Structures are given as structure tokens and as C-alpha cells.
């Protein structure tokens, strides 16, 4: 029988064989070159409550794999960190952990572990989602609903998503703030950005969770990197930006 020495060399050096014994640490959600500016969200089809599951996973799927799918998406667009460094200087790795409520994964430091301490960091740290005690998928859906049906009562939103009414109220408040910040930023950076001029009524576009209509505006990057598109309308529920 023919014996090919290179075959054995490849086999022993093949990472897929090593993986079975000891999975390689994941130091990032997606390859570094996948990460793109948040503005690239504009290149996606318009996100709405009907297609958002395609990007962030099925709302009813509580598996770790589904969680990973969502974080890969968020990391790709800079909505969460794709990699992190521990205060000790070590590179944090992504660890599956069912005790990480809602998220099912978190950052951990192997260097700290070798020194006998446990360093865990939430994958939400530093993001819009930090300190929000609800699944991120729900937050997206509540945002989409707020944009598409701004007249829905707090009670009905809370009931349909199984969250506390105060939580919904806080979220809506933050969405309003963000939208206002977004608008001010766009108006400041674009002197010719006029949504109807003085006294205009500005409404959240029902289909533009992320997509800025007319592609005229810059997107809100800080403090939350949350992005909303807006659309001028003559009537409807609205914000008086200029009074
Ligand atoms: Zn560390």
C-alpha cells in the first residue's frame, strides 16, 4: 500500500483535527475585514418588522447559534464591538455561557484565568444595548413597531412583546432622543438639508429603521450608533423640530 508521508504531515497539522480536542478561541465575531462603517447599513434593503429576522435571527429561536447570528450582524456594522482587550492587556475571547442572560455569550479573558481570576465582559458593553434588560431581538422589534405604528399604546406594545410597560416607555423615550439627535446632526452637517423648512412636521418613515431617505443625511454614530431614518410628511404623528 502506498504510503504518502505528506498525507500524515497534513493530517497531524490539520486544524480541524485539533479543533475536536480543544476548540480554538474565538477572538472576534466576524473576521476583522468584514466590519464596515455603520453607514453601510444604508446599502441593505430597508429593514422592517417583516424582514428583520433575516438579519438578527428568528425572535422565537433561543439557541446559542441564533444568538451568534445576531451578534455577527451587530458586530459587522459596528453596533457592538467585534473584538475587545481586557483591562489586563489580554485579548478577550467570545465564550458561550447560558448564564449570560438573553445573550448566551460573553467576553472572557484567558490571561486572567491563568492567573486565577475570572474576567467576564458583556458583549453589550459600550453599545446602545448596554444595561438594557431585555433580549436585543425584542428591542429591535419594539423599535420597528414604534416606527411603523407610532400610535400603539405602551400597554399594547408591552403586552405583545411580553415586557414591562416602564421598559417600553424608556425605550420609546430613547428612540425619540436618538431621532432628535439624528435630525440635529443631519441638519447641522447639511445646510441644504431641509425637511420642509420652518415649522415643518417631520415623521419617522415607517419603513426606514436604518435607511435614511434620499441618502442625504449622515447617520447617527454616537453615543449609541443607533440609526434611524426620517421622512418628511405633511401630516401624521410627528415631531416639531423647528418651531
Ligand atoms: Zn484579563
| Predicted local confidence at residue 161, as pLDDT | 94
Cα(112) to centroid(ligand 1), Å: 4
Reported as a pLDDT band with limits 50, 70 and 90, residue 103 is very high
230, burial (CB in 10 Å: exposed 0-12, middle 13-18, buried 19+): buried
Cα(107) to centroid(ligand 1), Å: 10
| Predicted local confidence at residue 122, as pLDDT | 95
Per-residue pLDDT averaged across 92-113, rounded? 93
Whether residue 75 contacts residue 29, with contact meaning beta carbons closer than 8 Å, is answered with yes
Q: Mean pLDDT across the chain, nearest whole number?
A: 72
Q: What confidence tens digit (pLDDT) does each residue in 50-99 have?
A: 888 888 999 999 999 999 999 999 899 888 899 999 999 999 999 998 88
Cα(27) to centroid(ligand 1), Å: 13
Distances (CA, A) of 25 to 91, 103, 116, 135: 10, 18, 18, 25
Cα(19) to centroid(ligand 1), Å: 24
| Predicted local confidence at residue 4, as pLDDT | 45
Q: What confidence tens digit (pLDDT) does each residue in 121-166 have?
A: 999 998 878 888 899 999 888 887 877 777 789 999 999 999 999 9
Computed from CA positions of residues 66, 96, 35, 181, in that sequence, does the dihedral angle turn out positive or negative? positive
Cα(87) to centroid(ligand 1), Å: 6
Cα(220) to centroid(ligand 1), Å: 32
Whole-number Å distance between alpha carbons of 217 and 197: 16
Cα(92) to centroid(ligand 1), Å: 7
| Predicted local confidence at residue 101, as pLDDT | 86
Higher pLDDT, 111 or 234: 111
Cα(163) to centroid(ligand 1), Å: 35
Cα(121) to centroid(ligand 1), Å: 10
Whole-number Å distance between alpha carbons of 160 and 163: 8
| Predicted local confidence at residue 242, as pLDDT | 30
* pTM above threshold 0.85: no
- Asked whether residue 198 carries a pLDDT value surpassing 60, the answer given is no
Cα(241) to centroid(ligand 1), Å: 46
Cα(62) to centroid(ligand 1), Å: 29
| Predicted local confidence at residue 35, as pLDDT | 92
Amino acid at each position: 500500500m502506498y504510503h504518502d508521508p505528506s498525507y500524515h504531515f497534513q493530517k497531524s497539522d490539520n486544524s480541524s483535527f485539533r479543533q475536536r480536542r480543544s476548540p480554538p478561541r474565538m477572538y472576534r465575531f466576524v473576521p476583522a475585514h468584514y466590519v464596515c462603517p455603520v453607514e453601510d447599513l444604508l446599502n441593505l434593503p430597508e429593514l422592517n418588522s417583516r424582514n428583520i429576522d433575516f438579519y438578527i435571527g428568528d425572535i422565537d429561536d433561543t439557541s446559542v447559534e441564533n444568538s451568534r447570528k445576531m451578534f455577527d450582524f451587530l458586530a459587522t456594522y459596528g453596533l457592538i464591538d467585534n473584538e475587545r482587550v481586557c483591562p489586563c492587556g489580554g485579548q478577550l475571547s467570545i465564550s458561550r455561557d447560558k448564564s449570560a442572560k438573553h445573550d448566551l455569550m460573553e467576553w472572557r479573558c484567558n490571561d486572567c484565568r491563568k492567573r486565577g481570576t475570572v474576567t467576564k465582559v458583556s458583549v453589550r458593553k459600550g453599545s446602545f444595548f448596554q444595561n438594557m434588560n431585555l433580549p436585543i431581538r425584542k428591542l429591535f422589534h419594539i423599535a420597528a413597531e414604534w416606527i411603523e405604528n407610532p400610535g400603539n399604546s405602551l400597554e399594547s406594545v408591552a403586552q405583545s412583546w411580553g415586557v414591562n410597560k416602564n421598559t417600553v416607555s424608556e425605550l420609546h423615550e430613547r428612540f425619540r432622543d436618538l431621532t432628535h439627535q439624528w435630525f440635529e446632526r443631519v441638519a447641522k452637517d447639511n445646510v441644504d438639508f431641509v425637511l420642509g423648512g420652518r415649522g415643518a412636521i417631520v415623521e419617522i418613515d415607517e419603513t426606514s429603521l436604518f435607511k435614511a431617505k434620499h441618502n442625504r443625511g449622515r447617520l447617527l454614530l454616537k453615543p449609541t450608533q443607533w440609526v434611524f431614518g426620517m421622512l418628511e410628511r405633511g401630516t401624521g404623528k410627528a415631531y416639531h423640530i423647528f418651531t
